[in-house]
Amino acid sequence: MKKINYIILLLATFNILSAQVLITAGNSSTPTANSQAVLELYAQNKNKGLLMPKVSLTTTSAPNPFPSHIAGMTVYNTNTTAAALIGVTPGFYYNDGTSWSRLEVQLPTVGDIKYSSTPADQDGWYLMDGRAISTLPSAVQSRAVSLGFSTALPNSTDRYLKSKSTTETLGATGGNTSVALTQANLPNVTYNATTTTNGAHTHAYNDRASGTTNSIESGGNRTVVDNDATTSTTSSAGAHNHTFSVSTGGTNTALSLQPKYLSAYIFVYLGQ
């Protein structure tokens, strides 16, 4: 106990003189604290670590168990609360002066998808370019197969991502960039046209043989002239209609289905 007290006293004295503290557990190979550090911990036994203070937080918005929020405070929370959006779970938390935030590293999981501006494989992320699974590192091949990519990675070149249906195979491709309309795509419309019967008409003519015949000539052969006239009319006939066809005038040009876009590279995480 006396030895520990002496060490603490020496450390306190060193702290006053240099404003830097080196706390050791065993003999240190560097008897002075790093010049860039206010506090340095050293353990001769490499199986030892730093044990942070344990507290019981209530919510991320409340300072409890402290009277107020303290920016820079770091603790290990042991409590679990179910408050919506502000609940806490066991783990490290730091305080930014207004609330607590959990310290955690969100690592990707096998099968995650991301976009990138560079085409090179990176930190376990592999470009979905249709390459054969056999070209991947051996440790990565089994992970790709576990996702359903048995022979090759999906080729995402010039394609959009969509949610998989219940019947589709993961990584399946499909769709078209354009479509040509057919008659089946058009509304069910019938075009009919009929002309009117306004072409019906009659013709009038003179019948000159219905009156008394007179002639100034004598003999058996004489020119006969009718002294009366009767007007007759032909029957009404000739009513008819016309049929015609209309040309659409189209050229069967396909419609583009391409919306406005921003191109990038698509990667799948398969680990390292």
Q: Which two tokens stand for residue 219?
A: 């003999």
The mean pLDDT of 82-97, rounded to a whole number, is 94
Q: pLDDT tens for residues 155-198?
A: 999 988 888 888 988 888 888 888 888 888 888 877 777 777 67
How far, in Å, CA of 58 to CA of 202, rounded? Answer: 106
Q: pLDDT tens for residues 149-165?
A: 989 999 999 988 888 88
Please answer whether residues 125 and 110 qualify as being in contact, where contact means their C-beta atoms are separated by less than 8 angstroms.
no
Q: Comparing 49 with 97, which gets the higher pLDDT?
A: 97
Q: What angle do CA 92, 93, 97 make, to 5 degrees?
A: 160
pLDDT of residue 144 exceeding 70, the answer is yes
Q: How confident is the model at residue 117 (pLDDT cuts 50, 70, 90)?
A: very high
How far, in Å, CA of 45 to CA of 33, rounded? Answer: 18
Q: Return the domain boundaries, the chain.
A: 2-43, 108-186+254-272
pLDDT of residue 3 exceeding 50, the answer is no
Q: What is the pTM of this model?
A: 0.54
How far, in Å, CA of 58 to CA of 79, rounded? Answer: 7
How far, in Å, CA of 34 to CA of 30, rounded? Answer: 8
Distance (Å) of CA 77 to CA 60, 92, 102: 11, 6, 9
pLDDT above 70: percentage of residues in the chain: 78
pLDDT of residue 40: 82
Q: Which two tokens stand for residue 189?
A: 């419309």
Q: Identify the H or E element spanning 230.
A: strand 230-233
